[in-house]
Amino acid sequence: MITLASIIFMSGCKSDPENKNEEHHEEENSVELTANQYKNAGIAFGKVEMKNISSTLPVNGLLDVPPQNLITVAAMMGGFVKTTSLLQGMKVKKGEVLVTIQNPDFIQIQQDYLNNKSKLLFAEQEYKRQEELAKDNVASQKTLQQAASEYQSLKAMHKGLLEKLLILGINPSNVENGTIKSIVSIVSPISGYVTAVNINIGKYVNPQDLICEIVDTEHLHAELTVFEKDIYKVKKGQKIKFQLVNEEKKIRTATVYLINRKISEDRTVRVHAHLDKEDSNLLPNTYLKASIEVTDNLTTALTDEAIVDSGDKHYIFIKDDKHDHKHNKGTAEGFLFTAVEVKKGVSQNGYSEVFLPDGFDTEHAEVVVKGAYALISKMNNSEEGGHAH
């Protein structure tokens, strides 16, 4: 009996290697703070929450202007530049004179207009006279037809010459009153900024030559480049966050408005987005980096501050209520925290998607949402990587 009791006692005194390993593993991932350390760390607790967090698609792009807001100014007829004060960067208003051009041919057009108008008036009277004579069978139908033909021909010519004057910016009424000029003004068709100037005083410009370029930056949009393999994720109305290359800290927002239906040679698709807040100080062709919010999922999430890194791993800390003990043999209260490795997902508005290990008690676990950096630092600074004190 004594021998058997001894054997039982010895067996009871033997430690279970597996239990030791489990305890050692638990201590490796735990941090203990004294009352003063706890207070200085500013520890605060929270719960794992369910949040709508969007997954994002990173893309590149640039700011652009619609075609109607980018104007190339050219002369309708060739001529010599008489006056101009254009400079790149200059702000101009719609209707403002940009340049004046001189050409003797302008005089000829006005003279042709006056001659035509005089002939048209005579032809109209002759046509009406022949029409009355034909009714009384005094004039032949042939004579009436000739008068009608002459009248219609001069009438068509008059419309053409009138249109030329209007295109040149010459008031027909002034011409009819005897004001003929060899200099015409070219005015700005929109309000905006001059981005290019290709003339100087005395230079001859042809109708196809660029005089200047004007851009209206009031309605810039974002042109994004999306790879072919990702375009199925993009839908009209999705929200976009973007950052300009010259604005490191400012985040702007936009909304997907149009998606091109053609894949380019480099296997990308253009996506047109409207800025949520327009800014006339922005410059076209500015490069940007953007994130399109392509999905919106209800998922487990914690504040960004609650998730800390150690190497290439992510951790959260939870309050360990199983260990109600005293620090330094009861001289001061101790607070024990357990580090839990998690997977971090998408971040949005101060929260991050978090993938928790199996069996994690989301309902009861008290997660450290403030002070987690102090805990991870203490755990990492533990000399032996064990239970940090």
Please report, rounded to a whole number, the percentage of residues in the chain having pLDDT higher than 90. 68
**From the CA atom positions of the chain, what is the Rg in Å?**
41
- Would you state the structure tokens that stand for residue 351, as one six-digit string? 């929260």
Task: State the pLDDT at residue 139.
Answer: 66
Task: State the pLDDT at residue 322.
Answer: 62
**Over residues 295-301, mean pLDDT:** 85
∠ CA 66-68-71, nearest 5°, is 110
**Res 16 pLDDT > 90:** no
C-alpha separations of 389 from 16, 25, 32, 265 in Å: 26, 16, 5, 62
- In this structure, of 65-79, 109-123, 135-149, 335-349, the range with the lowest mean pLDDT score is 135-149
**Res 230 pLDDT > 80:** yes
**Res 110 pLDDT > 60:** yes
**Res 137 pLDDT > 80:** no
**Over residues 53-70, mean pLDDT:** 92
**Over residues 116-143, mean pLDDT:** 87
pLDDT band at 88 (very low <50, low <70, confident <90, very high): very high
**DSSP-derived 3-state class of residue 8:** helix
Task: State the pLDDT at residue 3.
Answer: 39
**Res 4 pLDDT > 50:** no
Task: Judge whether 198 and 212 are in contact, CB under 8 Å.
Answer: yes
Q: Please tell me which of 5-14, 24-33, 97-106 the model is most confident about, judged by mean pLDDT.
A: 97-106
Q: Is 271 exposed, middle or buried (0-12, 13-18, 19+ CB in 10 A)?
A: buried
**Res 28 pLDDT > 70:** no
Question: If you write DSSP's letter for every residue of 203-257 in order, what string do you get?
Answer: -EE-TTS--EEEE-GGG-EEEEEEEGGGGGG--TT-EEEEEETT-SS--EEEEEE
Q: In this predicted model, what pLDDT tens digit does every residue of 302-359 receive, in sequence order?
A: 999 999 998 899 999 999 876 544 444 433 467 899 999 999 988 888 999 999 999 9
Domains and CATH numbers, the chain: 32-65+220-389 (2.40.30.170), 70-215 (2.40.50.100)
Nearest-angstrom CA–CA distance, 112 and 162: 10
∠ CA 37-343-41, nearest 5°, is 10
Task: State the pLDDT at residue 223.
Answer: 97
**Over residues 252-274, mean pLDDT:** 96
Task: State the pLDDT at residue 323.
Answer: 56
**Res 296 pLDDT > 80:** no
pLDDT band at 133 (very low <50, low <70, confident <90, very high): confident
